[in-house]
Amino acid sequence: MVNEEFSVGNRNFERLFKNSIQFKVPFFQRGYCWEKKHWEQLFVDINEQILPEIDTADNFEDVEHFFGPIVVLQKRTSNPELQEYQIIDGQQRITTIYLLLAKIRHLIEEKSHESPSASEYIQSLTKYLINDIDNQDDYLKLKVFSCKGDRLPAYKMVFNQNPNSPSLQVDMLLYSPETNNIDLFNKYIDKKLRKDFHSVPKLWQLSQILLKSLKIVWIPLDESKDDPQAIFESLNDRGMPLSASELLCNYLFRPIITAKEEYESIHNDSWLRAIRDTDSSGNFEDYLRLFFSIGEKKIIGQGRRIYVHFKYKNKNLNKENAKSILSDLKSNINIYNAIVDPVKNRLQGKDISPTLIRIRSTRMDACNVFLLALLKSYSISQIDEVETYKILNEICVLLVRRKMCELPTQKYDTIFPNLFARIIREPNKPKAISNIIADERYYVSDQDFSDALINRHLYRTRDLPFSRMMLQEVDKKLQVYNQLPDYSTLNTIEHVIPQTIDETWKTYLGDDAKNPDLQKYINTIGNLCLLSGPANSHAGQDPFESKIKDYTDVCALAKDLKKRKSPWNIKSIITRSEELSKIALQIWSWSI
């Protein structure tokens, strides 16, 4: 006689959850990642395909809705009270139904005074949610269990409290309520149930639909014959494809798991910690892409191409190499954060982060791979602070000059990945960079930079951080005794001649008002300064003489305008742009 536990067949969630059992998400699986569109589709199916038939059916089992396959692998366990299965496919479905039942039970408890049957319903649902076993680890009471940073929020959703578990402290370090999908699901489902299933009878009806009407195909695997990870990866392509970081994680940990290392603690301490510590301005996969692009001929492509590249480069990955890579990834995440948000994440060295801020404002992200390589070397004292600053400054000059001149950037993807490798052994690294820039024909002369400042838009609607940075740096140079204002309060760019001129300004400008180049010069550095938001609004369309009287002396660029004489026209703007361009040449000068 065939054991039904080891045969393919149709089942419902009532049968899956009725015994002391644990459906464990294996290490190679992702965490819970269903989103609003998936949750909403579940309720569309319930409302449109199940609820209309419930009233005419004899029982809930007669109304069937196929909910997909559940592929599992039974595991041997030392606990005779608990049967354990690894979920190979269907984690998102089984986790969603399990947590949805937990939320229904809590809402029935909350509304228990409204129905005499509430206590009976609560008792019934509890047996499907909680394993009635005695153990020092409360996590074993969960019937769906994950080790991917989801078990704490799952436990809290079922029990409304923290577990008594040896793993609690680690899980609390990894837990981020703002980003964890189980918490997002909890918020969504709480609102949904309170709105559409607001009474005890409706909640109970929904629980029975979930337990009895949703049908799955039970597909058990044989541990002695099947490779669960390979099966998972092939099955996954039908649903939500694994991301590059998930594929990389699985590949990195294969040799560690095979060597029977304590992989969960390594995973928590390195991989999950790095993900958690990634600054909100960045992206963990972007970090991986930069990290593995260092020294390459070209920056690695996005998405799964990161994984394909890494796998090709590490065909014979062993345990020691995998652990070394994981340690390196963890230890350098702070450098990545300092690159993507240097204002919030400052590095040691008084000139390092200010230069990174200027580089960041150019939005030339292709240089980040070089910055990561450089700052990794700086962090381990392979190069000193002075040399690091000089190199950063040379890169800043390159990016600012080329951006101001609106020159092509296509070669950045090939210049920056291996640039550090090309200069690391040079005695004069800033000079080596200058030579490479010249060889690549990316050098920008003083004349070209000056011409761009005089004749090209500095004010660019899509590049306001760059425009503000340029004006701030020039303003700093103009400040007397280096007494710098708080530039966060001088957060708007003022046009002396407004971008849209009214009749008063047209009369004032005379023939210049008809000049086709007027708009170009309005947005050049000569017509700009920094003001606070209220001061900018107040200046508005006021005539030149009125404006400059109201400008404060806080901004050196505004103070400079107050010294200028009428008339203020295209010629005046060009003259001022020429003067300010000389200051800009001092700020963004090549070191060699």
Report angle CA 50, 107, 155 to the nearest 5 degrees: 100
How confident is the model at residue 547, as a pLDDT? 84
Per the model's pLDDT, the better-predicted residue between 207 and 135 turns out to be 207
How confident is the model at residue 224, as a pLDDT? 64
Asked if the model's pLDDT at residue 239 lies above 90, the reply is no
Asked if the model's pLDDT at residue 467 lies above 60, the reply is yes
* Cis peptide bond prior to 567, omega within 30° of 0: yes
How confident is the model at residue 276, as a pLDDT? 86
Question: What phi, psi does 349 have (nearest 5°)?
Answer: 105, 120
Write out pLDDT tens, residues 21-59.
Answer: 999 887 767 788 899 999 999 999 999 888 888 877 668
Which residues have a Cβ under 8 Å from the Cβ of 330 and sit 6 or more positions away? 269, 270, 271, 273, 274
Q: Helix (H, G, I), strand (E, B), or coil: what is residue 216?
A: strand
Mean pLDDT, the chain, as a whole number?
89
Asked if the model's pLDDT at residue 296 lies above 80, the reply is yes
| Length, in residues, of the chain | 592
Write out pLDDT tens, residues 162-180.
Answer: 999 988 888 888 788 888 8
Write out pLDDT tens, residues 83-108.
Answer: 888 888 888 999 999 999 999 999 99
Q: Are 369 and 339 in contact (CB under 8 A)?
A: no
How confident is the model at residue 237, as a pLDDT? 47
Mean pLDDT, residues 201-205 taken together: 94
Mean pLDDT, residues 276-294 taken together: 93
| CA separation for the pair 467, 198 (Å, rounded) | 54
Q: Are 101 and 42 in contact (CB under 8 A)?
A: no
| CA separation for the pair 193, 99 (Å, rounded) | 13
Q: Report the run of H or E that residue 519 belongs to, with start and end.
A: helix 518-522
Q: Are 494 and 539 in contact (CB under 8 A)?
A: yes
Q: Helix (H, G, I), strand (E, B), or coil: what is residue 215?
A: strand
DSSP codes of every residue in 268-320: IIIIIHHHHHS-TTS-HHHHHHHHHHTTSSSPPPSTHHHHHHHHHHTTT--HH
Does this model's pTM top 0.85? My answer is no
Asked if the model's pLDDT at residue 510 lies above 80, the reply is yes
Question: What phi, psi does 468 have (nearest 5°)?
Answer: -65, -45
Residue 209: Cβ within 10 Å count? 18
The DSSP secondary-structure symbol of 347 reads P
Q: Helix (H, G, I), strand (E, B), or coil: what is residue 241?
A: coil
Which residues have a Cβ under 8 Å from the Cβ of 55 and sit 6 or more positions away? none
| Cβ-count burial 372-395 (b if 16+ within 10 Å, e if not) | bbbbbbbbeeebeeebbbbbbbbb
| CA separation for the pair 202, 352 (Å, rounded) | 61
Question: What phi, psi does 13 have (nearest 5°)?
Answer: -75, -25
Mean pLDDT, residues 221-245 taken together: 65
Quickly list H helices, 332-488: 333-340, 352-361, 368-379, 385-404, 412-415, 419-423, 429-439, 446-455, 464-478
Write out pLDDT tens, residues 438-449.
Answer: 999 999 999 999
DSSP codes of every residue in 99-158: HHHHHHHHHHHHTGGG-TTHHHHHHHHHHHHB-----S-GGGGBSEEESSS-HHHHHHHH
Percent above pLDDT 70 for the chain: 94
Label residue 204 by pLDDT band (50, 70, 90): very high
| Three-state helix/strand/coil letters over 51-100 | HHHHCCCCCHHHCCEEEEEEEEEEECCCCCCCEEEEEEECHHHHHHHHHH
How confident is the model at residue 120, as a pLDDT? 95
Tokens of 456: 């090209």
Write out pLDDT tens, residues 416-435.
Answer: 999 999 999 999 999 999 99
Q: Is 80 exposed, middle or buried (0-12, 13-18, 19+ CB in 10 A)?
A: exposed
Label residue 456 by pLDDT band (50, 70, 90): very high
Asked if the model's pLDDT at residue 541 lies above 90, the reply is no
| CA separation for the pair 53, 57 (Å, rounded) | 6
Whole-Å CA distances, 590 to 249, 256, 391, 431, 584: 42, 48, 11, 9, 12
Q: Are 21 and 84 in contact (CB under 8 A)?
A: yes
Tokens of 511: 């023939």
Q: How would you classify the pairing of strands 214-221 and 9-12?
A: antiparallel
Whole-Å CA distances, 475 to 359, 384, 458, 557, 560: 18, 30, 14, 6, 10
How confident is the model at residue 38, as a pLDDT? 92
Percent above pLDDT 90 for the chain: 63
Q: Is 158 exposed, middle or buried (0-12, 13-18, 19+ CB in 10 A)?
A: buried
| CA separation for the pair 419, 469 (Å, rounded) | 26
Q: Are 216 and 13 in contact (CB under 8 A)?
A: yes
- Find the range with the poorest average confidence among 218-232, 248-262, 284-298, 559-573: 218-232
How confident is the model at residue 238, as a pLDDT? 47
